Structure 1
Amino acid sequence: MLEYDILIREYEVEDYDRVRDMITNGLREAEARIVKAQVINKADVWAILLGLVAVVRFIFSIDLMILAAVSFLTVFIYYVSGLLYMNFYRLPMELEDINLGCPIHRYEKFWVAEVGSPAKREVVGSVALRRADDSNEYKLELKRMSVDKKYRRRGTASLLLRKALDYSLEKDAKEVVLTSSSAQMPAIRLYSKFGFKIRRIFTEKVMFGMIHVTLVEMSHTK
């Protein structure tokens, strides 16, 4: 049951700043979880590295400060690459186009969720559909699903997703596909609840191979 009045409507030019900030913040949250998990999972690598440092120092009597600096250089590079990745690499730069109007050429439909009184409403979620590029058939790709952190687990995402699926049914789309990061498990569970099936799981290497991102490709058919 919703705890607030919510309205799903099409995106308008005035929504641009709010929508882009909301989606960007959501992506950064997910990527921060990816980087944190990978640093923790590499604890065994750091242990081996420090063990090698101890052996090298014992054999060659190299200054301890130099060895320490060299040893932790890899850790520093890893953290810096993660920081760059979260802030620059995967931000939705195509959203720069949404100030041209709605629907824009990249999307067939773009909706937002807003809450509040008629006099003062706030955008708290978004979802979009665009034609899938990999098929001559009429297939749609779910994009830009995002909900403000304060309004999660209250039904907002479900309403947005239902709006998108209802549209695809109305237009007789053969399939709706999406790709989500494995760090976004609540979203993946929601998609599964609405009938999406996992089609493929694959890994991308970014930031010169320093960061590994596991992506889940899902599909919804009538």
Structure 2
Amino acid sequence: MTDNTTRVALVTGGSGGIGRAVVERLARDGFAVGVHYAGNKARADETVAAVTAAGGRAVAVAGDVADEHAMTDAFDAVEREFGGLDVVVNTAGIMLLSPIATLDLADLDRMHRTNIRGTFVVSQQAARRIRSGGAIINFSTSVTRLRFPAYGAYVASKAAVEGMTLILARELRGRDITVNAVAPGPTATPLFLDGKDQTTIDDLAATAPLERLGTPQDIAETVAFLAGPARWINGQTLYANGGLA
């Protein structure tokens, strides 16, 4: 167990994509990191091993983000291992695309359970536990501005994330805890690339002034900024999208 001077982070969805990049970036900044996963223990263990091999400290914790009992256990495990909690980054989310007129409402419910209820449950635990000087960082999407067709239900869930994030920042007045959301643009992760043909991917990459897709590492840098030096940024949504919106 580390002492209480060590900065400690918990990253939900931390076993792959943006989440893994965030874990590795925070570990390089000296954080001890809880790597949360929902179903893929092997991938979470690989992430922990990568952090450990680089000289960092990490532990894998499991649970459905929308299950308050499972997340209570996950938060407890991180606190037991590292002695406290300073930063919570909630990257866990799902994206199911369809025009609103033809969306299967079961998909709507799945997204809302993970993206809205899951963010709420994680934020609730974070608000109860994070030490003074800490940060809560949730995830939205730049599509709230870009308004791509077929993203209606996903955007609805992420607009809810933005709303609860900005209110929580105000509810934590006096505790020296920042609460912000990161809204990535098109980023080269399996979540984004799945189901898209190469022409669509190339067109999206060319749209941003920087003429490329974002990388998980690009987004992780934004998170590291909010988790560390950005103490005067609070109650905001930061759009990390290369100038796309």
Query: TM-score higher than 0.5 here?
Result: no
- Name which structure has the greater RCO, CA cutoff 8 Å, separation 6+: 1
* TM-score, L = length of structure 1: 0.31
Which structure has the highest strand share of the two?
Answer: 1
Rg larger for: 1
* TM-score, L = length of structure 2: 0.29
